[in-house]
Amino acid sequence: MKVLIVGGVAGGASAAARLRRLDEKAEIIVFERGEYISFANCGLPYRIGNVITEDSELVLQTPESFKARFNVDIRTLSEVIKILPEEKAVTVKNLQNGEIYKESYDKLILSPGAMPIKPPLPGLDSNKVFTLRTIPDTLRLKSYIDSKKAKKAVVVGGGFIGLEIAENLINDSLSVTLVEKMPHVLPTIDEDVAWDVHDYLIKCGIDLRCNTELVKVVDKDEGIDVVTSNDTIHADLVVLAIGIRPESKLAIEAGIACNERGYIIVDSAMRSSVDDIYAIGDVVAVKEFVTGTSASIALAGPANKQGRIVADQICGIDSRYQGSQGSNVIKLFEKTLASTGITERFAKSQGIDCEKVHLYLSNHASYYPGAEFMAIKIIFEKGTGRILGGQFFGGTGTEKRCDVLAVAIRAGMKATDLVNLDLCYAPPYSSAKDPVVMAGMAIENILTNKVKVTHWNELNKLDKNKVTFLDVRTKGEYADGHVEGFINIPLHELRDRLNELDKEKPVYVNCLSGMRSYVACMILKGHGFDCTNISGGYRLYKVMTKFYKTQENNR
């Protein structure tokens, strides 16, 4: 059996290695347009910030080491320029000598990946404008920064790569302005989590410009002018991190079915619409696990799994890709942002009747040194309790909680099942009630009607004359800031001051994060009041009103 693989790095290299483990006699050829067959794509930004100090550390396997271990014919600097399905062959161009030749196959695996988006705007062909997708891209950017002694950069795009590049440019002593077209960074989180992230990024030194669109760049003798929809920013260099598009031109020309965005359509066995041709990695559309909708999820984990599945299929093992829930994590200076499943925004776009909880909990026992708050948002379906997604922002242990929720989603657990999780506990690592378990308890209270919940943006819909707004924080906290119209009765005084509240009016209760207000609601409910807890409390209200005020100022 002869198997050709177009593209290495994550998916292609994984497929080649698995194929060899399963079949010692198969002829396996990998074509890679670049000079590197397997490199740490996700580690590239960290070379810019000198976290990774040597270029060689980015290379995971050389053609020679891959050949020695797996007996795979690795052909770097070799570009597949045409697929000939009727002949079961591909046309290849040797980029070193220009030779063009054909290579036949029994099975063909497409793993060409994706390319950075470079919009047709004036000035983007300047040698001061960079993208970051390969090792040569990284070396070129690093060399420019060092040789020109660059001091200021503009990063265009607030996705994973844009944020990682921004952080690492700051680590390399550059000042950074980040331009993002959308209202907030990262499409994998909702705005009520994003603004916490925004505040933190600004504190870390990033000049963040959301609702700001790139118009053009103008090369200058000294540096470059970045013209946006709001103003002009002068810098030494620009890094484009706007997004990616699939490298599917070969597939389209060969008549392989792709969707409207150019992603190759595959089934659960990663088979394309053409016999004996498979596709994996950033170039394919896959099933989004929570909703079953089609999605493009460019992450290394799914690409590696897909490579393994294709190898299994070719060798007669009926492995299937079960879909991706997009679990992801990003380091942002000293904090971590992680998410899994779908956002509230996407759930609503799919017509799902969803609810959410916001919690601000310590990452470990509060009395143990170094404890810090973690912001948690979990989205679930109202009628069923099905977990739809979660977003986590905090310090040590943040990604652990996200991983726990990712497993719960994959296992089909209900949100109420989180209460019964038996998770590790010791004061340096968690609390006796882990944050994920606490989230499950909060959701159980809602689903079993122990407490009603509302959200910060629903308060202005209420008639202040027909309800009571109650803040149960301390007098000092209330004096430092509160929502207009809320009266203050500290929680520890509430039972003795119930006569100050009108039982004929529903009571909406606020505290800092929603925890004390929940306790207050249970007290009030026990005394015959109609009570609703405000999820996320004053902390979330303050964050979001600031967010929307900033949005208005930027328009």
Give me the active site residues, please. Answer: 42
Instruction: Measure CA 11 to chain center.
Output: 19
Taking each helix axis from N to C end, the angle separating 191-203 and 537-554, rounded to the nearest 10 degrees, works out to 80
Calpha distance 185→171 (Å, rounded): 20
Calpha distance 164→183 (Å, rounded): 19
Question: In angstroms, how far apart are the furthest CA atoms of the chain?
Answer: 90
Q: Any idea how long the chain is?
A: 555
User: CB atoms < 10 A from the CB of 265, how many?
Assistant: 17
Residue among 320, 308, 24, 332 nearest 197 (CA): 332
Spatial strand order of the sheet with 294-295 comes to: 264-265, 284-287, 294-295
Query: E strand or H helix at 381, and its extent?
Result: strand 373-381
Residue appearing with tokens 């992680």: 338
Calpha distance 448→198 (Å, rounded): 35
Taking each helix axis from N to C end, the angle separating 11-22 and 63-70, rounded to the nearest 10 degrees, works out to 20
* Phi then psi dihedrals of residue 542, to 5 deg: -65, -45
Report yes or no: 79 and 101 within 8 Å, Cβ to Cβ: no
Q: CA distances (Å), 465 to each of 334, 468, 506, in order?
A: 45, 8, 11
Burial class (CB in 10 A: 0-12, 13-18, 19+), 200: middle
User: CB atoms < 10 A from the CB of 166, how many?
Assistant: 32
Q: What share of the chain is helix, strand, coil (3-state, %, to 5)?
A: 35, 30, 40
Burial class (CB in 10 A: 0-12, 13-18, 19+), 502: exposed
CB under 8 Å to 510, separation ≥6 — which residues?
Answer: 469, 470, 471, 472, 473, 482, 483, 486, 517, 534, 537, 538, 541
CB under 8 Å to 426, separation ≥6 — which residues?
Answer: none
Report yes or no: 277 and 110 within 8 Å, Cβ to Cβ: yes
